[in-house]
Structures are given as structure tokens and as C-alpha cells.
A and B are shown apart, each in its own frame.
Chain A
Amino acid sequence: MAAAGGQKRERWRPPRGRHRLPPEVIARSQRERLLEAAVRVVAEKGYTATTVADLTREAGISRTTFYAMFDDKEGCFLAAYDGIVDVLVRRVTAAYEAEEGWPSRARAGLAALLEALAEEPEIARLAMVEVGAAGPTAQRRYRAALQRLTPFFDEGRDFAPGGRNLPANTSRMAIGAVAGLISDEVTEGRAEYLPSLLSEVLFATLVPYIGPAAATREVGVTK
């Protein structure tokens, strides 16, 4: 694998279209440049091999500027990670809330998530795979990021007959199933094909609440 900056690569940029990043995130401040650089370099080299020197070179800032903003590589990575998760959650929320009825809402939210990850395969790798290499704090941050999706899943309780009797952990299970399917694709280097996984991911979301028969039906009818 070529070292970061060793070849001409397309720069990471915010997702296009109406879900564009808010202006305060786009601002080309040094901090933002650094966070973007962290995403690119870590996605390319892997977290462990990435050094602070890689980050400052890629961002075009000095070491002094780096250490004025962050204590170390981990702090910088975590800030970059939080930024990514914020964007993803915002896109999922917007898509989810634009629909009526839980299965359609779930479908729209999941489709938005898969599309966002497929648009930026390096972000998908960072968000789902490399985060595991960045230590216990980052791993906790990853699990916490997944839990931010809980409200979307838990609406299934009101939708499902007998949903109130489901285990308290039902949303965590469904999220784990969805994350497992996505991680598997991303680990195998197939992030750009994630949107084709929508039927399975929707099934995994619906099934703990409404069972396999109804989930199969909903996957077939909701559009």
C-alpha cells in the first residue's frame, strides 16, 4: 500500500447533494483540514501505522499547531471519528423522518446509511473497521455511535404486536445484526456495493420485532 501523499489521490470531501455538511463543518480551518487528513491517512495506512507526522504533512500544518489542538494521534482520530458519525446520523435521521410508518422509515434510514458509506468507502472502513484498532476509547465511541441509532429501531416496539414484551436489548440486537452485515461487506472491500445489501439489512432490522414472515413481506412491499 502506498504511503499517504505518496501518490495523487482524490481528496476526501463532504458528501454531495442536499445532505451536504453544514457550513461550520465545511469551514476550511486548520482543525478541519487536520480532521480530513486524519480520515484520509488512517483509511489508507491503517490507524496503527499512522503517525502524527503523517497527519501534519497531509494537513499542511505544523507540529506545534497539531499539539495546540490535540494531545496525541488518538485525540485527533477520535475528533475525526465523531465528525463522521455526526454526518452519518444526520443523514439517517433526515431520511427516516421524511417517511411515514415504521417499516418505510426504517427502509429509508438504512438506505441513506448504506448510500453514505458506499459514497466514501474509506470513511466506511474507518467508521466500521479501523476504529477497532484505535484502542478501547475508540471502541467505546464506536459502540456509542451505533447506539445513537437506537430510537429508530425502538419505534418497532410500538409498531409490533406485543412489542412491549420484547427484551429490553432488542434494539441492540438489531443494531448488532445490521452492523455485522455492513462490517462483513466493508472488511471484504465491498463498501461501494453496500446499497445492494438493503433487503438483508432491512430484514435484520424488522425481524426481531415482527418475525421472519412479516419481515419478508415488508421487505417485499415497502419501497
Chain B
Amino acid sequence: MMKVLRSFQPTWDGLMASESRRDLILAAMIRVVGSKGYKETSVADVIEEAGTSRTTFYKHFEDKHECFLAAYEVLVEQVFAEVVAECDGTQSWLQRVENGLATIVKLFALDPDLARTAVVEVAAAGAEARQMHWDAVARFTEYLEGGRELSNGRELPENISLMSAGAVSGLIFDELLAGRATQLPGMLPDLLFAMLVPYIGPAAAAEEMRRVAAAT
């Protein structure tokens, strides 16, 4: 937990402390949408949170929607950078999946507003935002393609990583919708099972699940 706190906080603080008013507005957008919901969020809420003027907002963005899309892009890049920082080329595929999932649930637990914006509220922000969300999920699960190596050359469906992505994001979505962001790290064993099972089957996936559950 502390490791993520240390590694994530500077990025976030960096954004918060940024000279750029645009960055301040983006960070405010992510927080306000996470706490109020996308529909209920107004430009006035965002500039109040950011401490900037209306003029500044409209100098950078057409409207709330355009600002949200820009904020979402930053959010995805930051989460992805955190995940990549915890994974490197020397790790086994299994280790990478475990570290990647652990990083995401810890991030989300530390910052429930960010989590709600990333996973739940994005669905309310229109087709383009939904596409960005799905692209981000696909990008994360591309990490999984190495899972094919573990399947002993067996032929697996082409879109198998979409299945893992759907299973994992469904579980996370339900927890966030129920307001249980802080309990997400406790879901790690189940999330790992969901991610691994299409590749290695229930017996092997359950073994990994028990190993992780015992370690936490």
C-alpha cells in the first residue's frame, strides 16, 4: 500500500502543484466528477474546485464535455504509468498480471473519486468517453497476451483478453457502484482468478488465488 502511495502521490501532487492552470482544471474535473457524478457536475463546480476563473476555463476548453475528455486522457496515462512502473520485462507473465492488478486496486482504494471517474462515471459522459474507457481497458489487457504462452500452444479465442477485461472490470464496477472502493484490495485474489482462468483453467487459477490470498 505504502509503495503505491509514495509512487502515486508525487505524480498527483505534481499535477496539483503544476504551474499550468489547465492541469489544475483537469485534476479538479476528475475529483468533482468522482464525487458528484458526471451529470451533476457543472463548469462552476470545476472552477471552484480548481480555484480558477470562468475565463480561464473557457480559454482552454469549449465546454464540460471537452474538459472531461482531456481529464480522462490524463487519468488513463497516470494509472497506466503506475502499472508500468510496477512491471518490468524480467517478470513472468503471472507476476506482471498480479502486480498490475494489485497496483490498480490500491490506486482505486486510495482515491475513490478517481476510481469512480475512471470506471463508473465515464459511462455517463458520452460515446467518445466510453470508447476511451474501453481502449484503456484493452490497453491494460494487452499485457495479458503473454498468457497465450502458458496455454501450451492450445488454440484460444482471439478476443480472450476482452473476456478477462470484462470479468475484471465488471467486478470492480460493482464494488465502486456499491461505494466499496476502499475494500477493493481485498478483491485481489478473485480479480486474479478472473484474469487468469481463461488461459490456465480453474484449478491453476484457484491455486494462484489461494497463494495471493495467503500472502495478503
**A residues apposed to B, CB below 8 Å:** 46, 48, 129, 132-136, 139-140, 143, 146, 160, 162, 165-167, 169, 172-181, 183-184, 187, 199-200, 203-204, 207-213, 216
Question: Digit string of B178-200 for contact with A (CB within 8 Å is 1, else 0)?
Answer: 00000000000110011001111
**Cα distance A174–B202 when bound, in Å?**
12
A136: B residues at CB distance < 8 A: 37, 120, 177
Residues of B within 8 A of A (CB): 37, 39, 120, 123-127, 130-131, 134, 151, 154-157, 159-160, 162-171, 173-174, 177, 189-190, 193-194, 197-203, 205-206, 209
Q: Out of B37, B160, B174, which one reaches A135, CB within 8 Å?
A: B37
In the complex the two chains form, what is the Cα distance from A174 to B205 in whole Å?
A: 14
CB distance from B174 to the nearest CB of A (A): 6
Task: Give A201 Cβ to nearest chain B Cβ, in Å.
Answer: 9
- The minimal Cβ–Cβ distance linking B148 to chain A, given in whole angstroms, is 10
Q: How far is the CB of B137 from chain A (nearest CB, A)?
A: 8
Please state if B197 and A207 are interface contacts (CB–CB under 8 Å). Answer: yes
Show 26 residue pairs from A and B whose CB-CB distance is below 8 angstroms, ordered by the A residue: A46-B127, A129-B127, A132-B123, A132-B130, A135-B39, A139-B123, A146-B170, A166-B206, A169-B171, A176-B166, A176-B171, A177-B162, A177-B167, A177-B194, A178-B166, A180-B169, A183-B134, A187-B127, A187-B130, A187-B131, A199-B157, A203-B198, A210-B201, A212-B151, A213-B201, A216-B156
Are the CB atoms of B162 and A209 closer together than 8 Å?
no
Residues of chain B within 8 A (CB-CB) of A212 are: 151, 154, 156, 198-201
Residues of A within 8 A of B201 (CB): 207, 210-213
Contacts of B163 in A (CB 8 A): 177, 180-181, 200, 203-204, 207
Q: Judge whether A140 and B177 touch: CB under 8 Å.
A: yes
Are A172 and B159 in contact, CB atoms less than 8 angstroms apart? no
A176 touches B120 (CB 8 A): no
Are B162 and A48 in contact, CB atoms less than 8 angstroms apart? no
List A contacts of B37 (CB < 8 A): 135-136
Q: A132-B123, A133-B126, A135-B124 are in contact. Are A172 and B202 (CB under 8 A)?
A: no
Complexed CA–CA distance, A52 and B130 (Å): 25
